[in-house]
Chains A and B, each alone.
Chain A
Amino acid sequence: MSNIKQNAGDEAEFAKPLYTPIKRRSFFMYAGATAGATALLLSGCDDDKDEVVPAGTISLGSGDVGVLNYAYALEQLEAAFYAQVKDTPATDFKTNELAYFTQVAAHEAIHRDFFKAAINRDAPGKIIPSLQASDLNFSSVDFTKRDSVLAAAKTFEDLGVAAYNGAGKYLKTPAYLVIAGQIVSVEARHAAYVRDLISNGSFADDSIIDSMGLDKAMEPVDVIAAAQPFIKVKLDATSVGK
């Protein structure tokens, strides 16, 4: 409580966008959302052709499919990480932890495979190449040590939550937004679980939740920058949602 009062000034500043009346343009966008969704998606795809992407870089694309590819990239990273956790479990895992991480590994693999199926169905030819084991870099993680695994898991889960929270606004198709919402709360459950394993009670502590009671939200380019050390191939998120 005292925290909230102390930061009253900052709070007003932070909340400012909230106080802005609905922008007219976004109102029209919303009103025409159903009719316009396909058109927006398609026009978004067209932008791809004009992009100049440096050699060796994978562009996640633009429009809704860019957001889906962005999510697909992150889910591939998480799924690969937990597959390794499952295959070479830390020698000092405690009771139930391997069983729980086996479930988390399945959730992330399902998310990955779902995005692959959805992108191939809804935007044929627009999917990014799948990230192979040789494209990933988990050299900073000591999979034999519980502490190292938990620290990396916390990074991935908190980052995943912030990524979905920040990307929702870029989706033009309501159905995709609902899907993103269905996944992000599961990522938040994973994040809370991992944080509690590191330190019981840290599931939503002040290091991750601000004085307004809000979780983090990050822009695609910032999320990719944070994830890039784990991915050898360069990802370009500059057009995601645009």
Chain B
Amino acid sequence: MNILRIIEQLSEVDADVLGRFDSRRAVFKTLGETAKKGALASAPIFVASLFSKAYGQTTAPSVIEVLNYALTLELLEEDYYKKMTAAGQVPTGAPAGAIALILKHETAHVKLLTDTIKSLNGTPVTDTDVKFKESLFPADYATQLAFAQALEDTGVRAYKGQAGNLMSNSALLQVALQIHSVEARHAAHIRTMRGQTPWIPASDSNLPAPLGPVYTGGIREDNVTQSNVNLTTQLGTTYSANDAAASFDEILTMAEVLDSSRAGGLVA
């Protein structure tokens, strides 16, 4: 705590003290990224640095990195729904209405995150950097919906995984939470369109790809223990494993989301 007090005192006489720390950090970051670029030469520069960042993570990512990560997922979703709309297989009426509404939200999220990153003097990733891989786009409507579910439930888990990294900024944290619950509403609706429960049952963790991996990870969606409390046996009332699993969604880390078995494998 002493070092913090010293910095705080410094900031009173030198308003730019935090900026100095930040730019020094940025120098180290740039050096590190340049060294790693060779490994991912084919990927757009930002996405490449995001990936190496996620995998080489030893310290918490910066706010800009978190926002760019969120923006990457939003761009992936936006492009996916654009492709889905263009493919023309979504039935008119309620299904087309739902996909259009979801696309509208993803576009709004892209704009909001892009504007926010710019306002913080960061460089936002763009739609030229992030596309849904054309070769993986499904030919049939049923599989298109399955991928949509994979993307939405990944989004829910991904935002949740970054909340702790936004605690430094109340306004940003709240906005991230407000996006997070919209993604959950999307996920619930897409799941319903597929005849699934709107919430995630324990069995989803065992589905084949592309869905199954979305529900696995360091903490699987069939997990029944929260904060060291076993929800099936330690609450005074006995609850089923399925209800316990579905009552809490789980996080995915940045590295898990960007893994090739999940969203990372869908980015062109």
Residues of A in contact with B (beta carbons under 8 Å apart): 1, 4, 15, 17-24, 26-33, 35-36, 100, 103, 106-107, 109-111, 113-114, 117-118, 161, 164-166, 168-169, 171, 174-175, 177-179, 181-193, 196, 200-201, 203-205, 209, 211-217
A182 adjacent to B251 (CB under 8 Å): yes
Q: 7 tightest A-B contacts by CB?
A: A213-B108, A30-B168, A17-B171, A188-B184, A192-B188, A19-B119, A185-B184
Give which listed residue, A28, A33, A204, contacts B101 with CB less than 8 A: A204
Q: Which of B4, B180, B189 contacts A192 (CB 8 A)?
A: B189
Contact of A103 among B199, B236, B249 (CB under 8 A): B199
CA distance A192 to B182 in the complex (A): 9
Instruction: Decide: B229 and A118 in contact? CB cutoff 8 A.
Output: yes
Complex partner residue of A205 from B4, B101, B169, B172, CB under 8 angstroms: B101
Name B169's closest neighbour in chain A (CB-CB): A22
- Given A168-B177, A182-B226, check contact A113 B171 (CB 8 Å): no
Q: Assess whether B36 is interfacial by the CB under 8 Å rule.
A: no
B239 and A22 form a contact (CB under 8 A): no
Q: Using Cβ atoms and an 8 Å threshold, which residues of chain B touch A216?
A: 178
Residues from chain B with a CB closer than 8 A to the CB of A182 are: 160, 226, 248-251
Q: A110-B243, A188-B181, A214-B175 are in contact. Are A24 and B8 (CB under 8 A)?
A: yes
Majority secondary structure, B binding face: helix
CA distance A212 to B104 in the complex (A): 9
10 contacts between A and B (CB under 8 A): A1-B107, A15-B112, A19-B116, A103-B199, A168-B174, A183-B248, A201-B97, A209-B105, A211-B108, A213-B105
Contact B185 A204 (CB under 8 A): yes
**With A114-B226, A213-B106 given, is the CB distance from A165 to B115 under 8 Å?**
no
List 4 extra interface pairs beyond A110-B244, A118-B229, CB under 8 A: A165-B174, A168-B174, A192-B185, A215-B178
Q: Do A186 and B108 have beta carbons less than 8 Å apart?
A: no
Can you name the residue of chain A whose Cβ is closest to the Cβ of B19?
A: A21
Per the bound structure, the CA–CA distance linking A183 and B63 in Å amounts to 24
- A183 — which chain B residues lie within 8 A by C-beta? 247-248
In angstroms, Cα B236 to Cα A189, docked, is 26
Q: Is A214 in contact with B182, judged by CB distance below 8 angstroms? A: yes
Q: Closest Cβ of chain A: how far from B70's Cβ, in Å?
A: 12
Question: Bound complex: CA of A117 vs CA of B198, how far in Å?
Answer: 27
Partner among B101, B174, B229, B236 whose Cβ is within 8 Å of the Cβ of A217: B174
Q: Is B179 an interface residue (CB 8 A)?
A: yes
Q: Which of A30, A211, A213 contacts B167 (CB 8 A)?
A: A30
- Are A177 and B164 CB-contacts (below 8 A) given A17-B171, A182-B226? yes
Q: How far is the CA of A24 from the CA of B168 in the complex (A)?
A: 9
User: Are B105 and A21 closer than 8 Å at their CB atoms?
Assistant: no
Q: Closest A residue to B243 by CB, please name it.
A: A106
Residues of the B chain whose Cβ atoms lie less than 8 Å from the Cβ of A201:
94, 97-98, 101
Give the chain A neighbours of B186 by CB distance below 8 A: 192, 203-204
Q: Determine the residue in chain B with the shortest Cβ distance to A20.
A: B171
Q: For the complex, what is the distance from the CA of A21 to the CA of B62, rounded to whole Å? A: 13
| Chain B residue at minimum C-beta to C-beta distance from A111 | B247
A213 touches B109 (CB 8 A): yes
Inter-chain contact A204/B160, CB cutoff 8 Å: no
- Distance in angstroms between the alpha carbons of A182 and B227 in the assembled complex: 11
Judge whether A35 and B1 touch: CB under 8 Å. Answer: yes
Which residue of chain B has its CB nearest to the CB of A181? B160
A159 shortest CB reach to chain B, Å: 12
A28-B8 contact, Cβ under 8 Å, with A165-B178, A178-B163, A182-B160: yes
Give every chain A residue within 8 A of B108 (Cβ-Cβ).
4, 211-213
On whether A164 and B177 interact (CB within 8 A), knowing A17-B171, A185-B160, the answer reads yes
Does B156 have its Cβ within 8 Å of any Cβ on chain A? yes
In contact, B179 and A213 (Cβ under 8 angstroms): yes
